[in-house]
């Protein structure tokens, strides 16, 4: 099976990071909600978040697990090697 690598632009990543900076990082939030706030397609938002996590700029914190595959997360920007 081929592996599909989707990368986002630095502009998309900064747009998503700007939204993450404005949210309450102790509350769960859906990617769809973050996408609406950023004015992005939900799929692009998901990949922008993944790129930010891979870069170590954002941490994804599990808040509530409804089951093994359905987990709600919050997102925090990383500052100076630690999350806010």
What pLDDT, on a 0 to 100 scale, did the predictor assign at position 66?
Answer: 86
Task: Give the domain ranges of the chain.
Answer: 10-83
What pLDDT, on a 0 to 100 scale, did the predictor assign at position 59?
Answer: 97
Give dist(CA 60, CA 38) in Å, integer.
17
Q: Has residue 78 got a pLDDT over 90?
A: yes
What pLDDT, on a 0 to 100 scale, did the predictor assign at position 17?
Answer: 97
Q: Has residue 83 got a pLDDT over 60?
A: no
Q: Has residue 2 got a pLDDT over 90?
A: no
Give 18-70 pLDDT, tens digit per residue. Answer: 999 999 999 999 999 999 999 999 999 999 999 999 999 999 999 988 888 88
Judge: domain 10-83, CATH 1.10.10.10.
Answer: yes
Largest Cα–Cα distance of the chain, in whole Å? Answer: 39
**Alpha-carbon torsion 26, 21, 67, 51, what sign?**
negative
What mean pLDDT comes out for the span 12-23? Answer: 97
Q: What is the pTM of this model?
A: 0.85
Radius of gyration in angstroms for the set of CA atoms belonging to the chain, rounded to a whole number: 13
Please give the C-alpha separations between residue 44 and each of 4, 26, 64, 82, in angstroms, as whole numbers.
14, 24, 24, 26
């Amino acid at each position: 099976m081929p592996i599909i690598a989707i990368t986002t632009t630095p502009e998309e990543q900064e747009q998503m990071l700007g939204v993450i900076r404005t949210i309450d990082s102790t509350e769960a939030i859906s990617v769809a909600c973050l996408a609406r706030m950023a004015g992005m397609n939900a799929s692009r938002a998901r990949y922008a978040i993944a790129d930010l996590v891979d870069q170590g700029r954002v941490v994804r914190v599990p808040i509530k697990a409804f089951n093994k595959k359905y987990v709600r997360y919050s997102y925090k920007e990383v500052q100076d090697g630690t999350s806010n």
